[in-house]
């Protein structure tokens, strides 16, 4: 849930002991927060969720993947799946005209090899922080 997510990401939060904040932080997931994110629908706005990007195209796109399973879904998509994830990843990956940046957890060797075969360049965290 939200509290555990923030704690795992290194945020030093005081323990919430009661009230609506406690209830929400223990029940809502990051996925639910993202799905319910409401951004202003201005034509000049270039920041959108995947769900709001359908039909649009952008010069650059940043896709953040939270875990290894999401990387697996991109490397080995289940085309005939009833699951909506494959379509969502397709939308995210197909919006960029010039630059697509995918941020996520470190890759294992098998995934590094597959990513390389797909002509995707891996840039490590060390290179970015220099």
* Vertex 20 angle, CA 15 and 22, to 5°: 20
Greater pLDDT, 91 or 9 = 91
Q: pLDDT per residue over 102-114, tens digit each? A: 888 888 888 888 8
Q: What are the domain boundaries of the chain?
A: 2-36, 50-118
Retrieve residue 27's tokens. Answer: 């029940």
Residues with Cβ within 8 Å of 111's Cβ and at least 6 positions away in sequence, in order, are 68, 71, 72, 75
Greater pLDDT, 65 or 10 = 65
Q: pLDDT per residue over 22-31, tens digit each? A: 777 777 777 7
Q: What pLDDT, on a 0 to 100 scale, did the predictor assign at position 12?
A: 66
Q: Does the structure show a pLDDT above 50 at 42? A: no
Residues 10 and 42: their CA atoms lie apart, in Å, by 34
Greater pLDDT, 7 or 91 = 91
Q: What pLDDT, on a 0 to 100 scale, did the predictor assign at position 50?
A: 77
Retrieve residue 26's tokens. Answer: 């223990």
By the 8 A CB rule, do 129 and 90 touch? Answer: no
Residues with Cβ within 8 Å of 102's Cβ and at least 6 positions away in sequence, in order, are 62, 63, 64, 65, 74, 120
Q: What pLDDT, on a 0 to 100 scale, did the predictor assign at position 37?
A: 62
Q: Does the structure show a pLDDT above 80 at 65? A: yes
Q: What pLDDT, on a 0 to 100 scale, did the predictor assign at position 100?
A: 85
């Amino acid at each position: 849930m939200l509290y555990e997510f923030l704690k795992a990401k290194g945020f030093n939060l005081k323990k919430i002991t009661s009230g609506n904040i406690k209830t929400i932080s223990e029940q809502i997931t990051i996925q639910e927060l993202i799905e319910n994110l409401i951004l202003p629908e201005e034509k000049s706005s270039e920041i959108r969720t995947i769900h709001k990007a359908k039909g649009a195209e952008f010069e650059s796109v940043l896709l953040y993947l939270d875990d290894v399973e999401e990387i697996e879904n991109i490397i080995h998509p289940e085309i005939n799946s009833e699951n909506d994830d494959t379509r969502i990843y397709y939308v995210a990956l197909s919006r960029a005209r010039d630059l697509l940046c995918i941020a996520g957890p470190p890759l294992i060797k098998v995934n590094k090899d597959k990513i390389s075969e797909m002509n995707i360049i891996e840039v490590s965290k060390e290179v970015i922080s220099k």
